[in-house]
Amino acid sequence: MIEPANIQRAADVKKIAVLRFKNDSIGFASKLETQLSKKTVLGSQYFTVMNREEIDKIIDEQKLQYSGLVDEKTAVKVGKLIGVQGIISGTVADSSMNRNYYRTLRSKCIDKECKRSRTYYVSCTRTNYNLSVNIKLTDVQFGDIIYADSISQDRTYSNCVDRLNNIPTKGYVLDKLSDTIVQRFISKISPNKRYVSIELLDSPEIDYTDEQEKLLEYSLQYIKNGRLDKAEELLSNLLTSTKDKCFVAAYNLGLVKEAQGEYSLAKQLYEQADDLVLEPNEAIDKAILRIKEQITNNKIVKEQVQN
């Protein structure tokens, strides 16, 4: 499923620039700029990102001083100079590594049958990496903050002298934490995919011929194999062969159409399946609610892309 940007106003600010972040010894701003430029929605590039070298050149020419800590007034001034709609700025508040030493209890057999054992302590090290970044998106036209957040990520590794593990370097871990924070921020200001679990129906609810049973069996296998085109063909044949009376075929074909992005057809098939069942069916009920939400979201996303 595709969901609209959480921050609706951000849809109006897609030509953006990422300024240098304060205390950015890990290259966070560059990573954010790169991922923003790669963001695609419905097959099209979503953001237009101003080149960093061009930004610095214009700022130098205008003799505008900034160190990464930018207030709204300065962000608006910079944004107007470089011709963008939004300015992203911020501070890397924490990029630390801390180690704690401790001892843990172990047990060891002292005979072959392990009828007797002894306990002992071993020395261990716990290494914790923390990354916290303050980020804000400023609207150049109106001079206010569209979205601001403080996003933190951490990761912990443990190592004991008797069970040595390879602890990654600080640079490697902070780079991975940066990736997560970047994606969390981008997910707030742009549309995103959301993965959902679906249920295939595999039990014939009417008397099938041998041929119809094969159509259902093979179509489900094709879906699992990712061959939606072939599954669509078999399920269409199955539905037609039952004179449109098989809710299992209608529902499964609806799943295929939904996966192919044909939401209106998927909705028709789900509703057809719903009309054919006598009692509530949880899978069909979920599908109908989901496709209605998807149709609404898809309309909003298209508007956000076109803004």
28-69 pLDDT, tens digit per residue, is 999 999 999 999 998 889 999 998 888 877 777 766 665 555
How much is the average pLDDT of 105-121? 89
The CATH H-level superfamily of 210-306 is Tetratricopeptide repeat domain (1.25.40.10)
Distance from C-alpha of 110 to C-alpha of 118, rounded to nearest angstrom: 7
Residues 6 or more apart in contact with residue 133 via CB below 8 angstroms: 21, 28, 90, 91, 92, 93, 150, 151, 152, 181
Assigned CATH topology for domain 2-191: Rossmann fold (3.40.50)
Cα–Cα distances in angstroms (integers) from residue 181 to residues 22, 25, 95, 200, in the given order: 16, 16, 12, 35
- Asked if pLDDT for residue 83 goes beyond 80, the answer is yes
Give percent of the chain with pLDDT exceeding 70.
97
Residue in the block written with tokens 């892309």: 305
Domain boundaries, the chain: 2-191, 210-306
136, 86 in Cβ contact below 8 A? Answer: no
Burial grade of 23 (CB within 10 A; 0-12, 13-18, 19 or more): middle
Residue in the block written with tokens 């990736």: 179
Dihedral (CA of 291, 296, 299, 305) sign: negative
Query: Which pLDDT band, with edges at 50, 70 and 90, does 260 fall under?
Result: very high
The model carries a pTM of 0.80
The string of pLDDT tens digits covering residues 148-157 is: 999 999 999 9
Same fold, 2-191 and 210-306: no
170, 133 in Cβ contact below 8 A? Answer: no
The string of pLDDT tens digits covering residues 144-189 is: 999 999 999 999 999 998 887 788 999 999 999 999 999 999 999 9
